[in-house]
Chains A and B, each alone.
Chain A
Amino acid sequence: MRDLVIESTETCANPILTARGLSYATGGQTLLHGIDLEIARGRRTMVMGANGAGKSLLLRLLHGLLPPTSGEVSWQGKPRAQAMVFQRPVLLRRSVLANLRFALKVRGLGWRAREARAREALDMAHLVGKAHQPARLLSGGEQQRLAVARALVCEPEVLFLDEPTSSLDQASTQMIEELVNAAHLRGVTIVMVTHDMGQARRMCDEVIFLHVGRVAECGPRERVLGAPRSEAARAWVQGRLYTGPAI
């Protein structure tokens, strides 16, 4: 078991978010088993692992979309402004601009501020020419850019992204990565699920590697992707099929 899972997590100096003993069970099956982890403030943390490892579920628990069966998620100080981008963008049946305005209205911004911020977000997402088009008629890449822009327009301190580029081509992926990196440079903490090893190498500072609902290991990118300690992570990094026992 010890070479399958590195149970202890490396604590970070300045966590913004801490999970302790986080478990989630449904239908008589436990999908996440007592996860302990810390999300470093202002860093880009990638959640990686095979299908069914519990990555998206972990993200939902951290974001507060689902209540854990046991354990807790606690914020450093007060709860922070946060936003989430889903694998399949959920866009309202409205225009591109109206989608941005809606998010700002929810945050309680006045009309003038909403207009100004929405226009800035359009510019940031390279969607100025599409402001009045129905959001659902945009291409897949444009829809995801709008979803990221809508999440960022409210200036979250933490941005959760669940495989935002999984069904996008390289050009669209690059634009999404630019948006996320720009947010990171402004100090936004990024927590992102990805299957893409290249993306992880390009973008992340920290890695959380999940295996069958447990943290197999986590730590700085150089260490986890360079010299993984767990067999599951090692196989993943080396591109081997992991046929070892389930945990």
Chain B
Amino acid sequence: MFGFDGIMAEALGLILTWDRDLSEIVLLSLRVTLTAVAIACLIGLPLGAIVGALRFRGRGAMTVLLNALMGLPPVVVGLFVYLTLSNAGPLGGLRLLYTPTAMIIAQTILVTPIVAALTKQVIEDLHGEYAEQFTSFGLSARARVSALLWDARYSLLTVALAGFGRAVAEVGAVLIVGGNINHVTRVITTTIALETSKGNLELALALGVLLLGLAVIVNAGVMALRASAVRAAYA
């Protein structure tokens, strides 16, 4: 049994030699997370912008719903998706359970309300500034929403980043619907949970370091982009 230093050295060794299992797990994690975030943005950005910029019946209820869904428990989402995709469920015929697609569906359900609710706030603030000018232009609702989304694009990068953070760190839902099957649905977080329980701390720590590194790199990239936009008064 090694001490912490020994485990850390083994973990760094795994990262530096870019172990095949390790790379497979990291790449699957990225594939699932980025796909889920992209789908969540496709749904959440326009939805949040509509709720933030337009006045319609039920807008208040929609806002409450989006805010409430931000705190969805991942295991409940996992269970819901599991029941839906299981053989006895309404979408059982698609045979998606224990596939990366099922994990993407679960993560999309978790991330979309976060993207939509944060987008709503960003767009509402910007719309407060633009509203009279847009009315003066005679802008349609659709043109209004798309102009706001475009002008808020750098602020919305932070929103996408929040969604990425939630998705990449998620374990409960993907474990339930993915099953943590080796070489099929094993991602960083589920592997860390499994390997830690088995006492294989080197791989768990290596994946933990990679997960943190990934989060730092993505954050730094987005922040740098946003900072340059702020300097140009575009954000």
Contact = CB atoms under 8 A, between A and B. Distances in A.
Interface of A: 60, 63-65, 83-84, 86, 90, 92-94, 102-103, 106, 134-137
A90 B235 contact: no
A64 B130 CA distance: 16
Interface string B116-154: 000000000000011011011111000100010001100
A65 B151 contact: no
Given A92-B147, A92-B151, A103-B137, A134 B132 contact: no
B136 A84 contact: yes
B135 A65 contact: yes
7 contacts: A90-B130, A92-B130, A93-B233, A93-B235, A103-B137, A134-B232, A136-B233
A237 B99 CA distance: 80
B139 A134 contact: no
A92 to B, nearest CB: 6
Given A103-B137, A134-B232, A134-B234, 15 more contacts: A65-B132, A86-B132, A86-B133, A90-B130, A90-B133, A92-B130, A92-B147, A92-B151, A93-B234, A106-B138, A106-B139, A106-B143, A134-B233, A136-B234, A137-B233
Given A92-B147, A93-B151, A134-B233, A83 B136 contact: yes
Chain B contact residues: helix, strand, loop or mixed? helix
A231 B138 CA distance: 40
Interface in B204-235: 232-235
A65 to B, nearest CB: 5
Nearest to B126: A93
A147 to B, nearest CB: 9
A140 to B, nearest CB: 14
Contacts of A63: 136
Q: Which of A64, A83, A93, A136 gathers the greatest number of chain B CB atoms within 10 Å?
A: A93
A93 B123 CA distance: 13
Interface in B144-171: 147, 151-152
A106 to B, nearest CB: 5
Q: Which of B132, B136, B232, B234 gathers the greatest number of chain A CB atoms within 10 Å?
A: B136
Contacts of B132: 60, 65, 84, 86, 90
Q: Which of B133, B135, B139, B151 gathers the greatest number of chain A CB atoms within 10 Å?
A: B133
A103 B139 CA distance: 10
Contacts of A90: 129-130, 132-133
Contacts of B232: 134, 137
A92 B234 CA distance: 8
Contacts of B234: 93-94, 134, 136
Contacts of A134: 232-234
Nearest to A102: B147
A90 B129 CA distance: 7
A132 B211 CA distance: 40
A170 B235 CA distance: 31
A63 B138 CA distance: 11
Cβ-closest 4 pairs across A and B: A136-B233, A90-B133, A93-B151, A84-B136
A173 to B, nearest CB: 22
A134 B228 CA distance: 12
A137 B233 CA distance: 7
Contacts of B136: 63, 65, 83-84
A136 B152 CA distance: 14
Nearest to A85: B136
A45 to B, nearest CB: 18
A64 B138 CA distance: 10
A103 B138 CA distance: 10
Contacts of A135: 233
B3 to A, nearest CB: 54
A87 to B, nearest CB: 11
Contact of A106 (B137, B151, B152): B137
A102 B133 CA distance: 12
Contacts of B139: 106
Contacts of A103: 137
